[in-house]
Structure formats: C-alpha cells, structure tokens
Amino acid sequence: MLRLTFLMRRKEGMTKEEMQRYWLEEHGPLVASYSKTLNMLRYVQVHSTDDDHSRLTGRRGEMEEPYDGVAEVWWESKNAMFEATRSGEGREADRALRDDEQRFIDLERSVAWFNYEYPQVNPTPENVVASERSSLVKLYFPLRQLDSLSMEEAQWYWRTHHGPVIRRQAHGSGIVRYQQVHRDEAELTEGINRSRGSKIEPYLGHAEVWMDRSAMGNPTPENRAAAKRAYEDEANFIDFERSTMFLAKEHVFIDRR
C-alpha cells in the first residue's frame, strides 16, 4: 500500500483547540465526501495531545517543536492513487481540499511525503487504534538522519539494526504495536509539497508506536533500561535536533481495508 503522511501546523491566529476542532468537524467530513472519488483506502486524523511532550525527549536533548497533528491517507497502490487524482473529478476534489486546508493549516510550515510501511511489532488483525476513549496513545516520531548518512544508508540501518532492537524489548516496554514508515516516491513527495507551498524539508520517515498509558506512567527498571538501549541505538542514525516527537490520539474517518 502507498501511504501519505502530512504533518500540520495550525494557521497563525488559531489556537490548537480551534484548529483541531475545525479539522475534525469540518475538514474531515469534506475529505470523507471525496474519499471514493480519490480512491482512498483509509483516512485517519492524528491529533497531538496536550501532554508535556518535552518529557518524551529525555536523553535526546533539544528537538523540533511538535506538530499539531498528522493527516494520513492510504491507497491500495500507486496506480490506484494515480487513476483517481489524475481524473477530472480527482483534480477538482484536490482543489477543493487544498482550498479548505488554507482555512486552518499554515501550509508553509507543514510538510507531506509519500511512504511505505515496515511493520515491526504487529498484532493480527491490524486494528489497533488510539481512540479518544481508549487508554492507548500513539507516539509519533518523525525523524531525519545524521548528515553523515545518505537516505538509503539511514533507512537500511533503521530497518535492519534498530528494528530488531525495539522488537526484542517490545513486550517489556509496554509496546502494543510498532511500525517504521519510510519516505519514498521522491517525485510525488516533491509535487505535493510544491502544490501546497511547503518550505519544510521532508523527514526520512517516522516511527509510530502504540502504547498503553499505564505502562508509561509507572516505568519499571526494565522500561528504563529498554528506553536507554533504544536511545543509544537511535543516536547511530538520527539527528535529534532536526527530528520531533509527540503523543497523539487517532480519529478514523475511512477504513476500507
């Protein structure tokens, strides 16, 4: 499946609460109304929480400011996306959505990219959702690689070295699900950011982890040791100062999987 990740910052003059309310109550239904026209397989809004996200960074030090939310869209394939978005109806739908985005998103300070998923800790069926009423929360970790590494080198290390580190300690860390989502499709990524006037460099990808808050609130010695091992390995390929991390809740609008 092809996936779109769109990290968003709110329009100047709006509070986070106002932005997320408009996104949820106005823009979300608008996207859903065009979902079949655009061949969307799944559409999810990921709203950052009001937690003190600075507590997440720990040993990582200073990181970028968390985003207000993330829009996520899945298609069955790149061809399925092309067929929809290149039709007359698809182009009209895209224009309508872009026009509405300007009502609540600072598009210059937001960024999108296309990517593919690499599941690491993955329950079956894949229906884990950090909904508002759930005790689950989703950790979102958009990351950029060290300057000494190419995109390919960093993604290879992330997938083949860091993935096993997290998988080995997932159970003791309270991790319910963990995915790596790697940026790809450079031409598509450049096009969507150009069309929205983004001035932000796309990330290497993002890690996403679903956890139960109860495991986060009372860390055991095992939890702390696992966090230390994760950080030490992250430092081998992640530029923390150019990455960010935040907790979020999910709102699923469309799921046709």
How many whole angstroms separate alpha carbon 139 and alpha carbon 217? 14
Q: What is the CA radius of gyration of the chain?
A: 18
The answer to whether 33 and 93 are in contact (CB under 8 A) is no
Per-residue pLDDT at 217:
62
Per-residue pLDDT at 219:
67
Q: What is the pLDDT along the chain (257 residues), one digit of tens a residue?
A: 999 999 999 999 999 999 999 999 999 999 999 999 999 999 999 999 998 888 888 889 899 999 999 999 999 999 999 999 899 999 999 999 999 999 999 999 999 999 999 999 998 888 899 999 999 999 999 999 999 999 999 999 999 999 999 998 887 778 899 999 999 999 999 999 999 999 999 999 999 999 988 766 666 777 777 778 889 999 999 999 999 999 999 999 999 99
Residues 6+ apart with CB under 8 A from 213: 135, 136, 137
Which range of residues forms the domain containing residue 241? 2-255
43 CB neighbour count, 10 Å cutoff: 22
Total tally of structural domains belonging to the chain: 1
Instruction: Give the sign of the dihedral formed by CA 140, CA 193, CA 106, CA 154.
Output: positive
57 CB neighbour count, 10 Å cutoff: 15
CATH number of the structural domain spanning residue 166: 3.30.70.100
How many whole angstroms separate alpha carbon 235 and alpha carbon 227? 12
Helices (H) and strands (E) in the chain, counts: 10, 8
> Cα angle at 250 between 168 and 89, to 5 degrees?
120
Structure tokens at 122: 């993955």
Per-residue pLDDT at 224:
75
pTM of the model: 0.94
The answer to whether 155 and 225 are in contact (CB under 8 A) is no
Q: What is the chain's percent helix, strand, coil content, to nearest 5?
A: 40, 30, 30
How many whole angstroms separate alpha carbon 112 and alpha carbon 193? 6
Per-residue pLDDT at 218:
64
Residues 6+ apart with CB under 8 A from 73: 3, 4, 6, 40, 42, 43
